[in-house]
Structure 1
Amino acid sequence: MSTITSGSLVMAFPIAAAAGLVSFLSPCVLPLVPGYLSYVTGMSGADLAERKRGRLLLGVALFVLGFTVVFVSAGLAFGGFGALLQRHAAVITKVLGGVTIVLGLAFMGFIPGLQRTFKSSRLPTAGIAGAPFLGALFGLGWTPCIGPTLAAVQAMAYTEASATRGALLSFAYCLGLGVPFLLTAVAYRKALGAFGWVKRHYQAVTRIGGGLLVAIGVLLVTGLWSDLTIQLQGWVSGFKTVI
């Protein structure tokens, strides 16, 4: 419990979840959501709108589980590396912050060519049985596309210097990315209407998302992230539940 309520995670967890949401709303994920839902259930778009939600929700849950395993494993590794490289933590954190700033600018479209997707020509079988494998493939193949937001989360995972905390931050990212998939499965038609609004405001979405990444990078480069973490740890440790 103390790991979850540590000052750094209290601050980083919601940021990581927000980064996941930004990834979901990005131009390289949102337009493909109906296709993913159709593939993981083996149903056409018309069937998705008409049939019961049980099969759709199960397929999407398995899909989300697939990419969650991939991203949490990466967070586990980055957090573990952070613990091993503590001696050089200050320098590496600044480097990761600089990279995050560059990727944030790329996410906003100021550095073209840095958001590419590597798609596998061999897709798993369509339907429920193939859903978790498609999720894992999404986690691996779409990493260059959602890389800016994911890189920011992994940079924060590194600064945690703990495999467990790194995994928790990646899990928060997966919540931000996965919950909208699940909500889409629950309310498919309404979600499609909301997608239309987001598509019409893609520029604003990418500017806000990129701005978030740049802000994280600046905090890492300047050392303010560590200062805020220490301050928040003091607040958390001094908090007492009122009975």
Structure 2
Amino acid sequence: MAAGTLDRTVLSGALLLALPIAVLAGLVSFFSPCVLPLVPGYLSYVTGVSGTDLAEARRGRMAAGAALFVAGFTAVFTSYGALFGNFGFVLEEHRETITRVLGGLTIVMGLAFTGILGGFTQREFRFHRRPTTGLAGAPLLGVLFGIGWTPCIGPTLAAVNALAFNEASAGRGALLTVAYCLGLGLPFLLAAVAFRRMLGAFGWVRRHHVWVMRAGGLMLVAVGLLLVTGLWDRLIGDLQVWSSTFTPGI
């Protein structure tokens, strides 16, 4: 019975459409100019290994530190998603209007992310009191990252939270932000276990970060337009019809 409930939840039209968008939003956040350049510093801090020794550090320790760090900010962002999903349920009567307002804000933030509206999206709050370096302090640093860097990655996170509100469910909202954290956290884990190889990929992204940000911003604008025009609900309806006839393999 629990498996059937899970199937109905994951295969709902809304989540089929929203989950990949949430993952992509997380990837865009990772490659933003206010996160990517700090990756070596984060890895050094959460593993207790100096920056010059990261390439030679033990993979197990690197992976453990990165995983604990990711778990920290995932706890923060998942609470956001659950909160917005619950708001969508409580405000069901006004959900359509609020969803369109959130869609409009998503469009504005997408335009800001492309650089058209200035660079306010690259601001962040910083905590001057740092946790202990090493594995013990990794989860706390992840929590501080989740709280302190929210203004920086706000456009992408806001889009995911708008989708969570549209779900009108705390559980589905939380699931969407877990998908977002997967997109944001997986590159951290890959960088931890293959730091030297990932440096080349990061270098390419940094050289072309303007186009990466523009592509991410246009994705947010597209999501916002779907929400504002009501096309999002139409797509969901079509996917729900399709998913109701889909039987997953065993």
| TM-score bucket (shorter structure) | over 0.9
Match of 1:76 in 2: 82
* 1:213 partnered with 2:191: no
**Map of 1:39-50 to 2, 5 A cutoff?**
39-50=45-56
Q: How far off is 1:221 after superposition?
A: 0.2
- CA-to-partner distance for each residue in 1:74-108, whole Å, 9 max, x for gaps? 10000000000010011101100000000001111
Aligned positions of 1:55-94 closer than 5 A: 55-94=61-100
C-alpha separation in 2, matches of 1:227 and 1:29: 35
**DSSP-derived class of the 1:144 partner:** coil
1:111 and 2:94 aligned = no
Structure 2 matches for 1:1-243, cutoff 5 A?
Answer: 1=6, 2-115=8-121, 116-241=123-248
- Structure 1 CA distance for aligned equivalents of residues 224 and 27 of structure 2: 18
SS of corresponding position for 2:128: coil
Q: Equivalent pairs: percent with the same residue?
A: 65
Cα drift, residue 125 of structure 1: 1.0
1:125 alignment partner, SS class: coil
Unpaired stretches in structure 1, ≥5 consecutive residues = none
Contact kept, 8 Å, 2:22 with 2:176, in 1: the verdict is yes
Amino acid at match of 1:129: A
Shift of 1:140: 0.3
Secondary structure at the counterpart of residue 145 of structure 1: coil
Q: Distance in 2 between matches of 1:242 and 1:187?
A: 34
Q: Structure 1 CA distance, aligned partners of 2:137 and 2:247?
A: 48
Give the Å deviation of 1:51: 2.2
Work out the number of aligned pairs and report it: 243
Q: How far has the Cα of 1:3 moved from its partner?
A: 1.0
Q: Is the deviation greater in 15-24 or in 114-123?
A: 114-123
2-structure distance, mates of 1:231, 1:54: 45
Instruction: Give the alignment's TM-score, normalised by structure 1.
Output: 0.98
SS at match of 1:143: coil
Counterpart CA distance in 1 for 2:146 and 2:126 is 11
The superposition leaves residues 189-221 of structure 1 with CA deviations (integer Å, 9 ceiling, x where unpaired) of 000111000011011101100000000000000
* Structure 1: 4+ residue segments shifted above 2 A: 240-243
Per the TM alignment, residue 240 of structure 1 is displaced from its structure 2 partner at its CA by 3.2
**Aligned-pair CA distance for 1:114:** 2.5
User: 2: distance between equivalents of 1:114 and 1:87?
Assistant: 33
CA-atom RMSD in angstroms: 1.1
Q: How big is the shift at 1:242?
A: 7.0
